[in-house]
């Protein structure tokens, strides 16, 4: 995996002489192996030659011991002599042929079946060795000596040398990679200086806060991994890219400040390093985003298990000076096959999976699936269409009644809908989060307030009473410095007052830091006479002091708690606590998502003051609301169509 040789690191810094630049450890080992091979070959051939000479001398001696009549000066050698040579020089001595030569004239003395007569040098598979006679000066015996056993032996030695060389190289690389994989250093030793995959200077590649690789270095290292080595033959994944994002990190930063936030990031980096071990390459991509490349645990089951441990480790409490707090971890994972995709696509896929993990409820891990890509494209399309939709005012509002203990309507919650020219009706769940991410929620929110005011005025013009309309607000709108002025301006334009509107903010929005501009906006709204409701209560985390400080009027109990009432194993403790908490703080409680009478009975008996849900009415468009209100009018007892503001049971005398 990623490792940096001193040479290549230094070369980036420009400290290494050009002459030393090519002297990489791999090349040194290769040169040593080649040299050993050449020496092996040389010694083996010399060996063969020496043995050939010995055998040749023995053969010559045998010939010269024969009586003169047995070796005629010319013509073929007698069969008897050839036969006795053949009995002595069996194939086992390696002699393939023997030829007795006088000058250029040679006579075959012995030849193993199939062996060619030997002239000089190499006559494969024989090495030709000429042995001069000491008795008859000028005579030589040319021996064809079998080279094959020597070459096989040389080849065997060569294999052993190569294996040993590769072992030395791998051990050296492993030693280099180990400390860096954990983030103490980075980059890969095989990147050529100046090439895109070349490692950066050590200081420039590390994130100064956590010591992990920074984004550029991490991406470069993933690229190197992706481009080097062959993909597995089976086509299975040979690595996993994990993308991490912390849950609740913003809340830590906002509540405890940036120094505490930095301590959290350091602690998380340490836990990632500890849990993933030396086999992983870890980087901090920015903010509270981290990533890791795992190359030695390639099955999905192993990664799944690893993910569980990571979430558990990172979620443990973190000490920040005198404080203790915790964050969660969402993980996206992509099983990669080397060389199949570009690095950008690998990261994008892991990021998409992480996004889905966040959407799925945080604190979990998701593996990339093709459908996520389609969903992301659809989100991208929504993003493109959204600004046009705001310009063309393609949105309209629907309203859902909120009733009190007597089932009398007290107000309505406004919910936005988008009439998309091609896709039809689009739910806010599909586009509000995109509008929040892109900042389009600011112009969209402005339009919503305008639509709500217009609808309320039109309703009252028909002498239908509606004390207030509740409007959902996003955090981003509260951060907009022009928000309060724009709301005031809209009210003035429509001839309404702050008591006509109520703002719903989610629990996490209400809990942003004390000094934040969002808090200042909320306080200003409250002082101006707008009522505030905490939405989805019970799903986030709350500080009672903060709720009191903000002068909240209502707690809207999230519908998951209401739905639980009629489910088996219902535990009433949490719901009872929320309702009594609201009561003690003098705040009204509103149960959301009420769908059946059993829920109403339980909620009333527990002291919940207001209900909202499909049991009373599903969200209605403006004309449906007018008809619905007319129907209700007979049942309600309002003076001149002017309703009292939302009342508690106590206030209404029950």
**Could you tell me the smallest distance in angstroms from the CB atom of residue 429 to ligand C2E?**
5
* Partner in contact with 448, chosen from ligand C2E, Ca ion, none, beta carbon below 5 to 8 Å by kind: ligand C2E
CB 296 within 8 A of CB 178: no
**Could you tell me the smallest distance in angstroms from the CB atom of residue 494 to ligand C2E?**
17
* Partner in contact with 632, chosen from Ca ion, ligand C2E, none, beta carbon below 5 to 8 Å by kind: none
- Considering beta carbons, is residue 176 or 472 the nearer one to Ca ion? 472
Residue 515: exposed, middle, or buried by beta-carbon count in 10 A (0-12, 13-18, 19+)? exposed
**Could you tell me the smallest distance in angstroms from the CB atom of residue 535 to ligand C2E?**
5
* Partner in contact with 283, chosen from Ca ion, ligand C2E, none, beta carbon below 5 to 8 Å by kind: none
DSSP letter string, 549-571: HTT--EEEE-HHHHHHTTSTT--
Strands (DSSP E) contained in 248-364 are 280-286, 289-294, 318-320, 323-325, 328-336
Give CA–CA dist 51/95, Å, rounded.
9
Give CA–CA dist 134/162, Å, rounded.
45
* Partner in contact with 518, chosen from Ca ion, ligand C2E, none, beta carbon below 5 to 8 Å by kind: none
- Considering beta carbons, is residue 52 or 538 the nearer one to ligand C2E? 538
- Considering beta carbons, is residue 95 or 448 the nearer one to ligand C2E? 448
Element (H, E) at 403: strand 395-403
504 binds Ca ion (CB under 5 A): yes
The contact set with ligand C2E (CB under 6 A) reads 400, 414-416, 427-429, 432, 448, 472-474, 535-536, 559, 593-595, 613-614, 619
CB 343 within 8 A of CB 253: no
DSSP letter string, 295-360: SS--SHHHHHHHHHHHHHHHTS-EEETTEEE--EEEEEEEEE-TTTS-HHHHHHHHHHHHHHHHHT
- Considering beta carbons, is residue 206 or 556 the nearer one to ligand C2E? 556
* Partner in contact with 480, chosen from Ca ion, ligand C2E, none, beta carbon below 5 to 8 Å by kind: none
**Could you tell me the smallest distance in angstroms from the CB atom of residue 268 to ligand C2E?**
29
**Could you tell me the smallest distance in angstroms from the CB atom of residue 238 to ligand C2E?**
42
- Considering beta carbons, is residue 245 or 504 the nearer one to Ca ion? 504
**Could you tell me the smallest distance in angstroms from the CB atom of residue 394 to ligand C2E?**
14
Tokens of residue 429, six digits:
């769940």
DSSP letter string, 588-602: EEEE-S--SHHHHHH
Q: In the structure, how many helices (H) and strands (E) does the chain have?
A: 23, 21
Applying the rule CB under 5 A, the residues between 571 and 610 that interact with Ca ion are 592
* Partner in contact with 225, chosen from ligand C2E, Ca ion, none, beta carbon below 5 to 8 Å by kind: none
When binding is defined by CB under 5 A, the residue of 176, 472, 589, 617 that contacts Ca ion is 472
Angle at 538 between CA 535 and CA 543, to 5 degrees: 90
- Considering beta carbons, is residue 284 or 559 the nearer one to ligand C2E? 559
- Considering beta carbons, is residue 64 or 595 the nearer one to ligand C2E? 595
- SS3 label, residue 22: coil
**Could you tell me the smallest distance in angstroms from the CB atom of residue 245 to Ca ion?**
24
Give CA–CA dist 356/367, Å, rounded.
9
Give CA–CA dist 375/368, Å, rounded.
12
Applying the rule CB under 5 A, the residues between 518 and 547 that interact with Ca ion are 535-536
* Interacting residues toward Ca ion by CB under 5 A: 472, 504, 535-536, 592
């Amino acid at each position: 995996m990623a490792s940096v040789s001193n040479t290549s690191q230094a070369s980036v810094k420009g400290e290494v002489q050009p002459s030393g630049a090519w002297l990489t450890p791999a090349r040194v080992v290769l040169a040593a192996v080649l040299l050993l091979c050449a020496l092996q070959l040389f010694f083996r051939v010399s060996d063969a030659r020496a043995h050939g000479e010995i055998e040749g001398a023995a053969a010559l001696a045998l010939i010269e011991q024969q009586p003169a009549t047995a070796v005629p000066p010319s013509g073929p050698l007698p069969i008897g002599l050839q036969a006795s040579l053949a009995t002595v020089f069996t194939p086992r001595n390696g002699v393939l042929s023997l030829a007795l030569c006088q000058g250029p004239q040679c006579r075959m003395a012995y030849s193993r079946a199939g062996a060619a007569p030997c002239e000089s040098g190499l006559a494969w598979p024989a090495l030709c060795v000429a042995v001069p006679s000491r008795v008859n000066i000028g005579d030589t015996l040319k021996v064809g000596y079998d080279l094959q056993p020597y070459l096989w032996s040389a080849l065997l030695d060569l294999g052993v040398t190569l294996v040993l060389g590769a072992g030395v190289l791998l051990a050296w690389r492993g030693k280099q990679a180990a400390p860096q994989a954990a983030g103490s250093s980075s980059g890969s030793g095989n990147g050529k200086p100046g090439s895109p995959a070349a490692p950066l200077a050590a200081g420039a590649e590390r994130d100064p806060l956590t010591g992990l690789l920074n984004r550029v270095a991490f991406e470069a290292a993933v690229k190197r991994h992706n481009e080097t080595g062959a993909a597995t033959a089976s086509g299975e994944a040979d690595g996993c890219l994990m993308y991490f994002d912390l849950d609740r990190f913003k809340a830590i930063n906002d509540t405890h400040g940036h120094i505490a936030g930095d301590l959290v990031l350091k602690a998380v980096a340490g836990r990632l390093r500890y849990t993933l071990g030396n086999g992983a390459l870890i980087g901090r991509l920015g903010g509270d985003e981290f990533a890791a490349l795992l190359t030695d645990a390639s099955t999905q089951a192993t990664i799944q298990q690893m993910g569980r441990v990571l979430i558990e480790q990172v979620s443990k409490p973190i000490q920040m000076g005198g404080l203790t707090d915790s964050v969660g971890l969402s993980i996206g994972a992509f099983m990669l096959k080397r060389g199949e995709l570009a690095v950008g696509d690998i990261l994008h896929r892991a990021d998409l999976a992480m996004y889905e993990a966040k959407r799925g409820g945080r604190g979990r891990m998701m593996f990339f699936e093709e459908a996520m890509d389609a969903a992301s494209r659809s989100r991208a399309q929504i993003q493109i269409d959204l600004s046009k939709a705001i310009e063309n005012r393609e949105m309209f509002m629907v309203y859902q009644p909120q009733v009190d203990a007597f089932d009398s309507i007290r107000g309505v919650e406004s919910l936005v809908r988008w009439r998309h020219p091609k896709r039809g009706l689009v739910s806010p769940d599909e586009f509000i989060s995109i509008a929040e991410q892109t900042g389009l929620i600011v112009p969209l929110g402005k339009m919503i307030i305008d639509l709500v005011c217009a609808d309320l005025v039109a309703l009252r013009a028909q002498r239908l009473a509606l004390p207030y309309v509740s409007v959902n607000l996003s955090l981003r709108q509260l951060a907009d410095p022009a928000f309060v002025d724009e709301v005031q301006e809209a009210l003035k334009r429509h001839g309404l007052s702050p008591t006509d509107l109520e703002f719903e903010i989610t629990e996490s929005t209400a809990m942003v830091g004390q000094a934040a501009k969002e808090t200042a906006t909320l306080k200003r709204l409250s002082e101006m006479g707008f009522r505030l409701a905490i939405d989805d209560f019970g799903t986030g985390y709350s500080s009672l002091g903060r709720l009191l400080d903000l002068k909240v009027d209502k707690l809207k109990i999230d519908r998951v708690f209401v739905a639980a009432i009629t489910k088996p194993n219902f535990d009433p403790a949490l719901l009872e606590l929320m309702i009594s908490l609201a009561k003690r703080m003098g705040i009204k409680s509103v149960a959301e998502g009420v769908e059946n009478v059993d829920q109403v009975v339980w909620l009333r008996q527990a002291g919940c003051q207001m209900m909202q849900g499909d049991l009373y009415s599903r969200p209605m468009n403006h004309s449906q609301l007018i008809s619905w209100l007319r129907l209700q009018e007979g049942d309600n007892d309002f003076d001149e169509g002017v309703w009292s503001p939302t009342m508690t049971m106590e206030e209404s005398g029950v």
